[in-house]
Structure 1
Amino acid sequence: MSGQIKIPATYMRGGTSKGVFFRLQDLPEAAQVPGEYRDALLMRVIGSPDPYGKHTDGMGGATSSTSKTVIISKSTQPDHDVDYLYGQVAIDKAFVDWTGNCGNLSTAVGPFAISSGLMDPSRVPRDGICTVRVWQANIGKTILVHVPMQAGQVQELGDFELDGVTFPAAEVVLEFIDPADDGEAGGGSMFPTGHVIDDLDVPGVGSFKASMITAGIPTIFLNAADLGYTGAELQDAINNDVAALAKFEAIRTAGALKMGIIKTADEIATRQHSPKVAFVAPPADYVSSGGKHIAATDIDLLARALSMGKLHHAMMGTASVAIATAASVPGTVVNLAAGGGKRDAVRFGHPSGTLRVGADVSEHEGEWVVTKAVMSRSARVLMKGEVYVPAPV
């Protein structure tokens, strides 16, 4: 039996997610490059695959929001500070999905880069805001993370409240630059089908009005009412319904095929992280999972999204980018749920509360283009030291 190895690591919360952060240079040499060894190592760090679904023997939290790994290195790209690689670790399967980004953990990339010595010191102010230029390596996009600094240190504590996170912290503003897909689906169009709304035929399930967009992360938006929902559902209403989860996976498969992300239905098994499926509805009163009363007058629409096969407890950061962008384009399912018309920001209600997001979009020669999407999150170091893991064979 080989012994355990220890790897410098930082356990961080970013937005409504948690993950294990590594500097590329601190990983074992065999894990510094993509491949089976890296995947096996990260799965063992998290504690996957776990047929019990608990992650008792690892750092994971047995949810899609807490089964995440991040690798950061000095950037190989001009005019960027760090490269950010994100691995979504499956819970009960031996699989790491590298196909997308985590918008929530993007928040923590900036603070991690500063505190881990990966930033040029001349770019880090003693006080004020440090803008960390992040290259998101999974999808080839730029994210600007605006990190507050105080006395030469990352300011983590503050009074910014984020629904889905129990305690307040310092506000971190994120700018997702040119967040639409460059070519994985639909030849680079933000709407890969060529339409802002389509009829999506799902074999064995039915036909739905859908808006399919690639901004932030490929996302399939549907009307809650068409699915038999109000849009105010909490996790237990869907995650305990095996038939409903199977229906959503069938919708996800049909949408991925129509968007050109996959060529055959079997390929969806290798893309658990994307595309996402979300459903929306006009604003209505509801009570969040934390017991907070959300008034219809305080939001523009209701939004719910599934991540890794389950309804998310709040809203994924990348899906929030998709919501912001779709809401800004007249005629999409999201835009119509928010009341229609042109807008540059929306506040939507999710299972844990509300979130305001904005996007700059414009139409050029019949094509919709998004320049950037903006939102606020927070991040905090939870633990720093070494993670112990049995060496992969």
Structure 2
Amino acid sequence: MTGIMSQSQMKVPATYMRGGTSKGVFFNLADLPPQAQIPGKDRDNLLLRVIGSPDPYGKQIDGMGGATSSTSKTVIVSKSQKADHDVDYLFGQVSIDKPFVDWSGNCGNLSAAVGPFAIHAGLIPQERLPENGVVTVRVWQVNIGKTILIHVPIVNGFVQETGEFELDGVTFSAAEIQVDFMDPADGEGAMFPTGNLIDDLDVPGVGTFNATLINAGIPTIFVEAEAIGFTGTERQDDINNDENVLAMFEKIRAYGALKMGLIQHLEEAETRQHTPKVAFVSKPKTYQSSSGKIIAENEVDLLVRALSMGKLHHAMMGTAAVAIASAACVPGTLVNLAAGGGAKESVTFGHPSGTLKVGAQAKQTGQDWVIEKAIMSRSARILMEGFVRVPSTVFA
């Protein structure tokens, strides 16, 4: 059933889901209005209106968005065009205050929800589903051209959504879903685009400091917290309420993107908000999480804070967690050194909402490093399903 007209609005079948520490509106490609089944302005306009953007008030009151980078997200899933995959997964990060959808990267948190959604949407053959057990949904991530394996628990023939797995940044427990990001480094170039594990990043007006620039999970710029005047224990309000600090991070992001070869001119960073990410790291310290829980120094290997769409993230983006795992497992990066240095297969890092353990399998081939896969545990749950209504003038 596609795009049903109802008075002055269209009804579009949709599912509202939480995946990891993010939320988004999920669509089966076949359910979208014909104009939006192909990439382009009509699709972008539809998704913008669904989410409630652009909103100069920054609240997304007239849409499904939650006015944060973690909740201004859309997902389109379809049967895969690749014979060895189950579904194709396309992610659109919707700008809150600007009229554009950024298709340049993936959402690692919502990746966990793609497997359950594909099953609920009937995109996985019934014979593939055990009565009780785990089904591996093989996903082609269209934005970045990578494979993700999502291990979905099944109980009595249905996706298990409730459970005892706790994820810091999510209030309620749920069923654990293991997500494997296969060969997560950028397929078009080296994992370290400059060829260095640590670079000098010169940012006019900010300074020159060490940075690890990595393409794994999502292009990410890692800097040391102390080098830019922070401790690594910061929470959202410490960063997001200071426009000067946010402007500094955006400047670091733009110059880092230029050095990574992601853009050719600084002004291009304004139209590429989703990538790269900026994160700052430090050695372990005791701090209080946003829930009030004390995270002891000996509970974590390092501390990481990351920004998404111009704001400090309340927990950690899934794709940035892949970048953290990948960088931590390569001896000599800033992330690895903050975690104590040496060979590693996993780390537990502290973020504003708590802690997260991530793993990666890294190997060196000549001068280059390769990540065979990065692994993390997430959870996902359907929050609402039915239709979203969009004014029929959206395609005008």
TM-score, normalised to structure 2, is 0.97
Identity percentage of aligned residues: 68
Q: Can you list the C-alpha shifts for 1:141-195, whole angstroms capped at 9, x where unaligned?
A: 0000000000110000000000000000000000000000011xxxx10000000
Q: Which residue does the alignment assign to 1:288?
A: 289
Give, in angstroms, the shift of residue 270 of structure 1. 1.4
Matching residue of 1:17: 22
Name 1:177's counterpart in structure 2: 182
**What's 1:138 paired with?**
143
| Aligned match of 1:348 | 349
Alignment match, 1:232: 233
Alpha-carbon distance in structure 2 between the residues aligned to 1:119 and 1:96: 28
Matched, 1:268 2:269: yes
- CA offsets, 1:347-379, max 9 Å, x none? 000000000000000001111000000000000
- The amino acid of 1:263's aligned partner reads Q
1:99 is matched with 104
Letter in 1 for 2:362: V
1:262 deviates by 0.5
Q: Secondary structure at the match of 1:336?
A: helix
Question: What does 1:150-165 correspond to in 2, within 5 Å?
Answer: 150-165=155-170
Moved over 4 A (4+): none
What residue in structure 1 maps to residue 253 of structure 2? Answer: 252
Tell me how far apart the structure 2 counterparts of residues 123 and 131 of structure 1 sit (CA, whole Å).
Answer: 9
* Equivalent residue number for residue 200 of structure 1: 201
Query: 1:125 & 1:9 partners in 2: Cα distance?
Result: 26
Partner of 1:126: 131
Q: Counterpart of 2:168 in structure 1: which amino acid?
A: D
Q: Which runs of 5+ in 2 are unaligned?
A: 1-6
Match of 2:372 in 1: 371
Taking the aligned partners of 1:318 and 1:208, their CA distance within structure 2 comes to 24
2:48 is aligned to 43
The separation in 1 between residues aligned to 2:167 and 2:366, in whole angstroms, is 38
Query: What residue number does 1:210 align with?
Result: 211
In the alignment, residue 253 of structure 2 is paired with which amino acid?
A: R
Which residue is equivalent to 1:316? 317
1:116 Cα offset (Å):
0.7
Q: Counterparts of 1:331 and 1:255 in 2: how far apart (Å)?
A: 19
User: What secondary structure does 1:60 align onto?
Assistant: coil
Q: Secondary structure at the match of 1:144?
A: strand
Report the equivalent of 1:360: 361
Amino acid at match of 2:260: M
Distance in 2 (alpha carbons) for counterparts of 1:228 and 1:267: 27
Q: Per-residue CA shift, 1:223-280, capped at 9, x if unaligned?
A: 0000110000000001011111111011001110111010011111111000000000
Is 1:88 aligned to residue 89 of structure 2? Answer: no
Cα separation, 2, equivalents of 1:8 and 1:259:
39
Whole-angstrom CA distance in 2 between matches of 1:52 and 1:248 = 22
Q: Which residue of 2 aligns with 1:65?
A: 70
What amino acid sits opposite 2:239 in the alignment?
A: I
RMSD, aligned α-carbons: 0.9
Aligned mates of 2:322, 2:375 — CA distance in 1: 8
The residue type equivalent to 2:49 in the other structure is R
> What is the CA-CA distance between 1:136 and the residue it aligns to?
0.3
SS in 1 for 2:163: coil
CA distance in 2, matches of 1:390, 1:106: 29
CA–CA separation in structure 2 for the residues paired with 1:226 and 1:5: 51
Q: How many residues align?
A: 389
What residue number does 1:110 align with? 115
Cα distance between partner residues in 1 of 2:235 and 2:127: 46
1:74 aligns with 2:79: yes
CA distance in 1, matches of 2:226, 2:204: 19
* TM-score under structure 1 length normalisation: 0.98
State the alpha-carbon separation in 1 of the partners of residues 154 and 185 from structure 2.
30
How far, CA to CA, are the matches of 1:336 and 1:134 in structure 2?
Answer: 33
- State the AA in 1 paired with 2:32: L
Corresponding residue SS for 2:231:
coil
Q: Give the secondary structure class of the aligned counterpart of 2:117.
A: helix
TM-fit CA distance, 1:124: 1.5
Q: Aligned equivalents of 1:126 and 1:134: distance in 2? A: 22
Q: Does residue 55 of structure 1 match 2:80?
A: no
User: What is the match of residue 4 of structure 2?
Assistant: none
Shift of 1:122: 2.2
Cα drift, residue 3 of structure 1: 1.4
Structure 2 residue matching 1:218: 3-state secondary structure: strand
Q: Which runs of 5+ in 1 are unaligned?
A: none
